[in-house]
Chains A and B, each alone.
Chain A
């Protein structure tokens, strides 16, 4: 057994023992440095959690704005420090509740949003200065960011000071997750419009959270997760440079969303390596001067891909390990998939357990006292160096194949990660890749059933009624005027964000605005290749 080679998921050999020699031969400590200083491998802030623990932001949303608002208040009362909003699939794909394609899907996997009115209800009574909000929205992100800014402005907040995040990473939607709407090129243009608009009007708002998370869920290895995310972030950055912005005008507001499951040390090394590499790219390739531009700010979240249908309570323990990894990795924000999430929308009870898991690390385990506590471990430093090299190699491979945008358009990256997912699934089924409760330590006992989140079709009917009431009360001439402006700006290749903000303020719907954009941009045709 001890003579067998052990290779981690990223393809790096793991030795039985590490010494200073391994650190030196893997590249030394040149990229380590100190927290809060370039290259930020040890953390983007000097004091990290000592000054402020990570933000806790469970993914939440179901049915309608009213029910979701109640859950938001429950989580905040239980010590949650941020919100992460889940939207239903019609909202995510730019359809209104009354669209025929939306039938059976309204409010099912997240909250339904048709107009600004839904945002007003969803965030009612929530202090947007204390609680920062993350919108998990991509295809229709430009519209929902506009709604968020309009809602905040209506409530009297200064948009120029407003904090918050939108996922808004469309390139990864083509690889995994699948809530694309427009073809690849105009999709990138829309992301660019939001970055440019926020840089000028809402400079504290983070308009993009580049996601390695879903690429990993789709079959990427940990090092590919980081490398592909960096390639995607560079594609957005390059678009900004073409628009004439300087890197320091927007890079500081780019953030990341990464996944945690698998080998603990590989995961910690992944994040430390990624931080150093991103800082180096932004400084050396893009010539950034502002250290904030070089920060890899991230939500590092316990991934659904690691959880199991079998013996669901085991997922509580997995979640705790994932949270520990996230804390050891210096994440800014943490979220955990809940133990019942392989089955259903999490219950309040399951959400609270996830929240308590993170709070235990803060209050009981001393995770906030010392910065980057694994630094200096021969193993961790060597693995950090090795992971960074792997990521650089993978990024070079993407470049050699014509770049991430071309690979996404042609479907080659989708095919590559899906082939890997297949091999991994075969290894899980054969037992070659151990998974507790799945291919080892199974039990014949009857599994405890989780409680299913109820889906009430009357919620969808109510949402249609609400939509009709908003439509009846709004100034239709203003809606028509603003929608025409959205189309005109899209046709003229201008930034569409100012027009979208005006349209949402006039209570134009997600579907109406999307249709105007589709008239100009068309819709994405998925390349099918295996």
Chain B
């Protein structure tokens, strides 16, 4: 019995050039059997929404290290609606301090994985939510 692969878009929003974290998480997801599309650096909110839509992904992941996660997510939110992506899992990881979590959850982020999160926790979360959605 073959199971469809979980498809993930890993996006690097804005001008932040720190891609170490994004790349190691992409590798962990690939090893877990996910199909991962990595956008590369410096993507606008629209580019990320477009890429997610075109690639027909189940999960939209963002990796943010330089502090602009809130203004970026504010701009991405209406685009998720415009591109009919509101039912996708929307997660963020990186340098996202606890004080911002409530605001991000309020915007519709499903989960936040700050620096130091374990690969297993990220992957288990996606798998369990994917099963619920499927």
Contact = CB atoms under 8 A, between A and B. Distances in A.
Interface of A: 89-90, 92-93, 95, 101-105, 108-109, 173, 176-180, 217-219, 308-310, 342-344, 418-419, 421-422, 425-426, 429, 438, 449, 452, 455, 526, 528, 530
Contacts of B40: 526, 528
Interface string B32-71: 0000001011101000000000000000000000111011
Given A429-B118, A528-B38, A530-B27, A219 B71 contact: no
A179 B17 contact: yes
Nearest to B117: A429
A418 B14 CA distance: 21
B103 interface: no
Contacts of B119: 425-426, 429
Give the bracket for the number of chain B residues in contact with chain A. 35 or more
B64 to A, nearest CB: 11
B72 interface: yes
A455 B75 CA distance: 18
B30 interface: yes
Contact of A178 (B17, B114, B116): B17
Given A108-B66, A422-B27, A89 B116 contact: no
Cβ-closest 4 pairs across A and B = A178-B17, A104-B71, A89-B15, A526-B40
Interface stretch (B1-9, B18-26, B82-90, B124-132): B18-26
Given A89-B15, A105-B15, A109-B66, A421 B30 contact: no
Contacts of A105: 14-15, 66, 68
A452 B116 contact: no
A101 B44 contact: yes
9 contacts: A101-B42, A104-B68, A105-B68, A422-B23, A422-B27, A425-B24, A429-B119, A528-B38, A530-B38
A180 B98 CA distance: 31
Contacts, number: 93
A519 B42 CA distance: 19
A455 B70 CA distance: 12
Contacts of A109: 66-67
A309 B116 contact: yes
B116 A173 contact: no
Contact of A93 (B42, B75, B114, B120): B42
Contacts of A342: 95, 115
Contacts of B44: 101
B28 A108 contact: no
A342 B21 CA distance: 13
Contact of A89 (B16, B27, B114, B118): B16
Given A89-B66, A93-B15, A528-B38, A309 B114 contact: yes
Given A309-B115, A343-B95, A429-B119, A422 B17 contact: no
Contact of A219 (B20, B42, B66): B20
B72 A104 contact: yes
Contacts of B28: 422, 426
Contacts of A173: 17
**Which of B42, B97, B98 is packed against the most chain A CB atoms within 10 Å?**
B42
Given A93-B42, A104-B72, A104-B75, 6 more contacts: A101-B14, A104-B71, A178-B19, A418-B24, A419-B27, A429-B120
Contacts of A429: 118-120
A139 to B, nearest CB: 9
Contacts of B71: 103-104
B116 A310 contact: yes
A109 B26 CA distance: 25
A178 B67 contact: no
A343 B98 CA distance: 10
Given A310-B116, A429-B118, A452-B97, A178 B68 contact: no
B91 to A, nearest CB: 18
B68 A418 contact: no
B97 A343 contact: yes
B78 to A, nearest CB: 15
A455 to B, nearest CB: 7
Given A101-B44, A104-B72, A177 B18 contact: yes
A104 B75 CA distance: 10
Contacts of A425: 24, 119
Contacts of B97: 343-344, 452
Contacts of A218: 20
Given A104-B71, A104-B72, A92 B15 contact: yes
A452 to B, nearest CB: 7
Contacts of B23: 418, 421-422, 530
